[in-house]
Amino acid sequence: MYGAPLANPVNSAPLARQHLKTCALCWKPPFSPFAAAILPMPANRLETRCAICQPAAPLAHASLAAVLLAEGDFIAAAGAGRTAVSLDAAPGEPYLSLGNALIGQGQYSAAVEPLCAASERLPGNATIHNSLGVALLESGQLTAAETSLRRTVELMPTLIEGHSNLGHLLNLLHLPEDAAAHAWRAVELDANFAAGWNNLAGALLALDQPEEALTAAERAIELSGESVEGENTLGSALAALARDGEAREAFERALKIAPDNAEVHFNHALSLLTAGEYSTGFSEYE
């Protein structure tokens, strides 16, 4: 159902790295700061979190997956997650680790099933509902995604990513007032959260507030640097203010980052047509 488990789990190099970092049976107090940061379980359950000392413990492999996710090794993290959920009586955490690893690989549809399993086992976990909402959103299941993301912010009203993701989704559902409210909440919680500012800019554009949208879009780029989403939103705000040359430049910067992005090509084509460059604009539109 979830793919093959990690081969030879006890002898693998990543598991050896996990053993050195997080094994509560081998580390003597005080634990390393790294171990403390990635071991959210109560102290009396730490002994189940080393995949070398406890190769049959699902939480041990889930812990390894968490380490690998933090290191950006999504493929290995998915392997550890598959091992965890293949073991008997796996709790919710291994399914969350597997789902997040699949999201990291861009396999959003595949991530839905393990994340649903995680939410069934841990229905009050806001992080799980947030990840499930992202997977559903990117899989095109917008109604189900809205349910998950609203549940996320209900469970944890201070989860920045939850408000930001919900704001983005509500923009897609053409609910700009609600979208703006959640985007504002995200940037109130963290004024340096670039995605929140970009989502806010999109909502403000839909509310016909281009000046405010431009300010938010500029703040997003200031925080994150050039990105497809940021430059596209900036270009849309500039176009709404009839600053057509600057809008075109923003769309062109976005296309340099993602030459195949259909939405940016469409917006770029409109900017060319607005400038009277009909031949180039219609060619780009097609």
The C-alpha R_g of the chain, in whole angstroms, comes to 22
Which span out of 22-26, 265-269, 276-280 was modeled with the highest average pLDDT?
A: 265-269
Pairwise pLDDT comparison (242 vs 90), residue with the higher score: 242
Q: Judging by beta carbons within 10 Å of its beta carbon (0-12, 13-18, 19+), is residue 242 exposed, middle or buried?
A: exposed
For residue 3, what pLDDT is reported? 39
Residue spans of alpha helices (H) in 190-243: 194-206, 210-224, 228-240
* Residue 9 pLDDT greater than 80, yes or no: no
> What sign has the CA pseudo-torsion 172, 175, 177, 178?
negative
177-193 per-position pLDDT tens digit: 999 999 999 999 999 99
pLDDT band at 51 (very low <50, low <70, confident <90, very high): low
pLDDT band at 14 (very low <50, low <70, confident <90, very high): low
pTM above 0.85? no
Pairwise pLDDT comparison (53 vs 12), residue with the higher score: 53
Closest by CA to 252, choosing from 267, 241, 238, 237, is: 267
- Domains of the chain, start order: 1-122 (1.25.40)
For residue 266, what pLDDT is reported? 86
- Please give the average per-residue pLDDT across 237-241, as a whole number: 94
Task: Give 101-141 as a DSSP string.
Answer: HHHHTT-HHHHHHHHHHHHHH-TT-HHHHHHHHHHHHHTT-
Amino acid, single-letter form, for residue 4: A
Task: Give 132-190 as a DSSP string.
Answer: HHHHHHHTT-HHHHHHHHHHHHHH-TT-HHHHHHHHHHHHHTT-HHHHHHHHHHHHHH-
* Residue 101 pLDDT greater than 70, yes or no: yes
Pairwise pLDDT comparison (101 vs 26), residue with the higher score: 101
> What sign has the CA pseudo-torsion 196, 202, 208, 213?
positive
* Residue 16 pLDDT greater than 70, yes or no: no
For residue 50, what pLDDT is reported? 61
How high does pLDDT run on average in the chain?
81
162-171 per-position pLDDT tens digit: 999 999 999 9
Q: Judging by beta carbons within 10 Å of its beta carbon (0-12, 13-18, 19+), is residue 118 exposed, middle or buried?
A: buried
Q: Which residue has the tokens 């950006």?
A: 72
Pairwise pLDDT comparison (284 vs 155), residue with the higher score: 155
For residue 41, what pLDDT is reported? 42
**Cβ contact 198:220 at 8 Å:** yes
Amino acid, single-letter form, for residue 25: L
102-133 per-position pLDDT tens digit: 999 999 999 999 999 999 999 999 999 999 99
Residues above pLDDT 90, as percent of the chain? 55
- Token pair in block for residue 152: 């996320």
Which span out of 27-36, 59-68, 191-200 was modeled with the highest average pLDDT?
A: 191-200
**Longest CA pairwise span in the chain (Å):** 72
Helices 210-224, 194-206: inter-axial angle, 10-degree rounding: 160
Buried b (16+ CB within 10 A) or exposed e, 81-99: bbbbbbbeebbbbbbbbbb
Q: Could you give phi then psi for residue 104, rounded to 5 degrees?
A: -60, -25
Pairwise pLDDT comparison (166 vs 31), residue with the higher score: 166
